[in-house]
Amino acid sequence: MPVSRPTVPAADPGRRRVLAALLGAPVLAAGGLTGCTSGPAATPTRNGPVELSVFWWGGPERAKLTEQALRLYSERDPRVSFRVTWQGIDGYYGRLATQAAGGNVPDLIQLDDSVLTEYAEREIVHDLTDHVADNRLDLRNLPEGLARYGQVTGRTMAVAAGQTAAAVIFNRDLLSDLRVPEPRAGMSWEEYVDWAEQVTEASRGRVAGTTDPSGDYRALWIWLRGRGGEFYR
């Protein structure tokens, strides 16, 4: 079901600050994107204690893994502590929009790729490009494509906190009954469509050879990547 995302108000650029505590390594959250955000005016410090607020959406398992990662960061840099808040996806973006309107966005937030550009253009998230360039925010161990995932118009505005892989799931018993070969890795889109038609024809229309992915933008994204393109620029 589509999630309603309220319009994000513009932030006051003068209130942005550099989160010096993060400039050693990215904080990893379980899924989505983690971006450094606007916050109250403050002078960055490299020596004193720093408390960062973190806000994400997800369930108990994601919360458990995220808090484990944050504790690991604090063990490696005891100056840094985290104040965490999390909730389900319902109402998450509405709450985030309210925080942005009040100039009170948490220091670290989880964003879907579909809203990152809007948050970057409205200067809700902090531009991390300079920190990546001098490796204070070290992304060298990330695959190149994953490192680009958090970029907007060539600027690093967030860091991918995880990745998943596309897969084709099929009913092996059904294909055996229909005497249709199983799909194979490396099929072209044309071959996949031909295979799906075989399933439909062999079942005399009782079984659709494939689902209709037109309602999911990620299907278009995968198709574009297979042709050397990208969904976001």
Digit-coded pLDDT (tens) for 32-82: 345 555 444 344 555 789 999 999 999 999 999 999 999 999 999 999 999
Beta bridge partners of residue 152, listed in sequence order: 155
Q: What is the pTM of this model?
A: 0.66
Angle at 150 between CA 34 and CA 118, to 5 degrees: 85
The full set of domain ranges for the chain reads: 13-160, 172-225
> In angstroms, rounded to a whole number, what is the distance separating the alpha carbons of residues 218 and 230?
11
Q: For residue 24, what pLDDT band results from cuts at 50, 70 and 90?
A: very low
User: Cβ of 201: how many Cβ atoms within 10 Å?
Assistant: 13
| Pair of tokens at residue 149 | 């995932």
Instruction: Return the minimum-mean-pLDDT range out of 48-62, 109-123, 188-202.
Output: 109-123
- The CA-atom distances, in angstroms, between 220 and each of 24, 67, 215, 216, 230 are 35, 34, 10, 8, 10
Q: What is the DSSP letter of 136?
A: S
Question: What percent of the chain shows pLDDT beyond 70?
Answer: 79
List, for residues 133-176, the tens digit of each pLDDT value. Answer: 999 889 998 888 888 888 888 899 999 887 777 788 899 999 99
Pairwise pLDDT comparison (4 vs 22), residue with the higher score: 4
User: Cβ of 1: how many Cβ atoms within 10 Å?
Assistant: 5
Residue type, 106: P
Beta bridge partners of residue 75, listed in sequence order: none
> In angstroms, rounded to a whole number, what is the distance separating the alpha carbons of residues 228 and 136?
30
Q: For residue 232, what pLDDT band results from cuts at 50, 70 and 90?
A: low
Q: Classify the C-alpha dihedral 138-141-142-143 as positive or negative.
A: positive
Report the pLDDT averaged over residues 205-210: 93
Predicted local distance difference test score (pLDDT) of residue 203:
96
User: Cβ of 158: how many Cβ atoms within 10 Å?
Assistant: 27
CATH of domain 13-160: 3.40.190.10
| CA-based end-to-end distance of the chain | 26
* Average pLDDT of the chain, as a whole number: 79
The residue written with tokens 């840094």 in the block is 80
Predicted local distance difference test score (pLDDT) of residue 17:
29
List, for residues 10-22, the tens digit of each pLDDT value. Answer: 443 332 322 322 3
Predicted local distance difference test score (pLDDT) of residue 55:
93
Report the pLDDT averaged over residues 84-99: 93
> In angstroms, rounded to a whole number, what is the distance separating the alpha carbons of residues 62 and 144?
25
pLDDT at 2 over 90: no
Which residue from 24, 135, 136, 19 is spatially nearest to 77, judged by alpha carbons?
24
Residue 121, CB-side half-sphere exposure with 13 Å CA sphere:
8
Angle at 191 between CA 187 and CA 194, to 5 degrees: 145
Predicted local distance difference test score (pLDDT) of residue 233:
59
pLDDT at 193 over 80: yes
> In angstroms, rounded to a whole number, what is the distance separating the alpha carbons of residues 122 and 106?
16
Which residue from 60, 87, 68, 73 is spatially nearest to 27, judged by alpha carbons?
73
The residue written with tokens 């399933």 in the block is 199
